[in-house]
């Protein structure tokens, strides 16, 4: 069994924001697989469960808000008795250039409050996909406003045409047990 958690904030006002790119990547992946979501209050999440390549996969989008996502991960890991190696987290990274995707196991939180919550609740030894969100605008408006801002049209196109397929391949590698630490950048 594998658990894949996308980070973001619940509610339509956060759709298309940088902080919700984890939700967006899971939405795209599960839509392509025709997987349906449902509210799972006991896990503080909207979740979906399916089988892919003979493996049971649980997808989750925390309803706790980004900065408390560790509560969701802890509840799911404890309930399903999963190891940290069975967890993949997908999130934005504002210190990573837009157009870059990095896979890591463990590592520093780089100021990311979602990672801080996860580290506090479950430790650091899990796989995560960092999706670069940084650009010049971040230095103009500050980090808080930046993560809650929407991607511009060009960035949204890159997310749809390059980032989402790249993340889908990473999810498939994780499910197959073939994930490794690496970085991808726009061609």
User: Token digits for 49?
Assistant: 């469960």
Sign of CA dihedral 68, 13, 186, 87: positive
Q: Which sequence spans correspond to the domains of the chain?
A: 2-185
| Residue appearing with tokens 């892919």 | 52
Dihedral (Cα; 6, 7, 9, 12), 10-degree rounding: -30
Pick the CATH number of 2-185 from 3.40.50.1470, 3.20.20.70, 3.30.420.40, 3.10.20.30: 3.40.50.1470
Per-residue pLDDT of the chain (187 residues; tens, 9 = 90+): 999 999 999 999 999 999 999 999 999 999 998 999 999 999 999 999 999 989 999 999 999 999 999 999 999 999 999 999 999 999 999 889 998 999 999 888 888 999 999 999 999 999 999 999 988 788 888 888 888 989 999 999 999 999 999 999 999 999 999 999 888 987 7
| Residue appearing with tokens 């993949």 | 88
113 assigned to a ligand binding site:
yes
65 assigned to a ligand binding site:
yes
44 is catalytic: no
Q: In 10 A of CB 108, how many CB atoms?
A: 11
């Amino acid at each position: 069994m594998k658990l894949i958690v996308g980070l973001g904030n619940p509610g339509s006002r956060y759709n298309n924001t940088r902080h919700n790119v984890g939700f967006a990547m899971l939405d795209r992946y599960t839509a392509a697989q025709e997987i349906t979501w449902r509210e799972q209050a006991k896990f503080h999440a909207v979740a979906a469960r399916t089988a892919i390549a003979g493996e049971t996969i649980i997808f989750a989008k925390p309803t706790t808000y980004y900065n408390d996502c560790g509560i969701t991960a802890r509840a799911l890991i404890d309930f399903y008795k999963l190891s940290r190696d069975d967890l993949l987290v997908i999130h934005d990274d504002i210190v990573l250039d837009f157009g870059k995707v990095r896979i890591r196991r463990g590592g520093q939180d780089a100021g990311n409050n979602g990672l801080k919550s996860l580290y506090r609740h479950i430790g650091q030894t899990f796989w995560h996909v960092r999706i670069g969100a940084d650009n010049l605008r971040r230095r103009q408006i500050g980090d808080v406003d930046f993560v809650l801002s929407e991607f511009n049209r060009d960035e949204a196109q890159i997310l749809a045409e390059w980032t989402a397929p790249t993340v889908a391949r990473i999810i498939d590698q994780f499910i197959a047990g073939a994930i490794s630490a690496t970085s991808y950048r726009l061609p």
